[in-house]
Amino acid sequence: MTAFRKKIATNYIINAILVAILFVVLVILINTGVISRYNTGILTLVCINVILAVSLNLVTGILGQLVLGHAGFMLVGAYASSLFTLNSNLPLEISFPISLILAGMVSAVFGFVIGIPALRLRGDYLAIITLGFGEIIRVVSYNLKITNGSMGLSGMGTLSNRENPSPMFIYAFLIAVVVIVIMFTFGRSRHGRAVISIREDEIAAESMGINTVYYKLFAFVLAAFIAGVAGGIYAHHIQMIDPAKFDFNRSVEILIMVVLGGMGSITGSVISASVLTALPEWLREFSQYRMVLYSAILIIVMLFRPSGLLGRNEISVPKILANIKKRIANKKVPSDAKEE
Partner 1 sequence: MHLLETKDLGIVFGGLQALNELHMVVDDGEIVGLIGPNGAGKTTVFNLLTGVYVPSGGAIHLEGNSILGKKPYQINRIGIARTFQNIRLFKNMTVADNIKVAMNQNMKYKSLTAMLRLPPYWRQEREVDKKARELLRIFDMEDTADQTAANLPYGQQRKLEILRALASQPKLLLLDEPAAGMNPTETKDLMATIRDIRDRFNVAILLIEHDMSLVMNVCERLYVLDYGTLIAQGPPEEIRKNEKVIAAYLGC
Minimum CB separation of residue 193 from partner 1 in Å reads 5
> Considering only 38-46, 103-111, 133-141, 192-200, which stretch makes contact with partner 1 by CB under 8 A?
192-200
Of positions 185, 249, 295, 323, contacts partner 1 by CB under 8 A? 185
Site string for partner 1, 254-293 (x = CB under 8 A): ----------------------------------------
Residue number with CB closer to partner 1 (5 or 145): 5
In sign, the C-alpha dihedral spanning 48, 83, 252, 183 is positive
Residue number with CB closer to partner 1 (39 or 197): 197
Say how many Å lie between the first and final Cα of the chain, rounded: 37
Q: Angle 266-282/248-261 helices, nearest 10 degrees? A: 120
* Those residues with Cβ within 8 angstroms of residue 35's Cβ, 6 or more apart along the chain or in another chain: 26, 29, 43
Of positions 194, 235, 260, 273, contacts partner 1 by CB under 8 A? 194
- The number of residues that bind partner 1 (CB under 8 A) is 29
> Considering only 146-154, 195-203, 246-254, 313-321, which stretch makes contact with partner 1 by CB under 8 A?
195-203
- Count of residues making up the chain: 340
Minimum CB separation of residue 172 from partner 1 in Å reads 20
Which H/E stretch holds residue 311?
A: none
Residue number with CB closer to partner 1 (281 or 314): 314
Minimum CB separation of residue 13 from partner 1 in Å reads 13
User: Which of the 8 DSSP states describes residue 264?
Assistant: T
Of positions 193, 247, 252, 307, contacts partner 1 by CB under 8 A? 193
Residue 190 contacts partner 1 per CB under 8 A: yes
Minimum CB separation of residue 15 from partner 1 in Å reads 13
List, in sequence order, every beta strand (DSSP E) within the chain: 153-154, 240-241
Task: Collapse the DSSP code of 241 into the 3-class scheme (helix H, G, I; strand E, B; otherwise coil) and give the result.
Answer: strand
**Window 197-226: residues binding partner 1 (CB under 8 A):** 197, 200-201, 203-212, 218
Q: How far apart are CA 65 and CA 123, in angstroms?
A: 8
Residue 196 contacts partner 1 per CB under 8 A: yes
Minimum CB separation of residue 92 from partner 1 in Å reads 29
CA-CA distances (angstroms) from residue 274 to 44, 60, 123, 176?
Answer: 10, 19, 31, 12
Of positions 97, 142, 191, 307, contacts partner 1 by CB under 8 A? 191
Q: Which long-range contacts (CB under 8 A, 24 or more apart) does 302-308 make?
A: 302/259, 302/260, 305/262, 307/262, 307/263, 308/259, 308/260, 308/261, 308/262, 308/263, 308/265, 308/268, 308/272
Residues that bind partner 1 (CB under 8 A): 1, 5, 181-182, 185-186, 188-194, 196-197, 200-201, 203-212, 218, 312
